[in-house]
Amino acid sequence: MKGWKRLPDEAKAAINGRIRAERIAAKPPRKRLRKLGKKIRKLETKLEALRAEREALESARPAE
């Protein structure tokens, strides 16, 4: 940035803080993403088991 050396320390700190905040806002939290991914996989597994159970019950039901 042109004139960076002439800026007061407070202004530099404010700019650096804004840049840091923008980076944090733009980057999704990895830990939360991993946790959500794990929950989704667990739910998908459960859903698959429930669908298989439903299919087994439907096939065991007498034809009408």
Residue 52 contacts residue 60 (beta carbons within 8 Å): no
**What is the structure's pLDDT at 2?**
82
Q: What is the mean pLDDT of residues 45-50?
A: 97
**What is the structure's pLDDT at 30?**
85
- Indicate if the pLDDT at residue 25 is higher than 70: yes
Q: How far apart are CA 24 and CA 32, in angstroms?
A: 14
- Indicate if the pLDDT at residue 64 is higher than 70: no
Residue 54 to residues 18, 28, 43, 59, Cα–Cα distance (Å)? 54, 38, 16, 9
Query: 24-33 contacts: CB < 8 A, separation 24 or more?
Result: none
Number of domains in the chain: 1
pTM above 0.75, yes or no: no
Domain extent, residue 40, equals 4-60
Q: Which residue has the higher pLDDT, 32 or 45?
A: 45
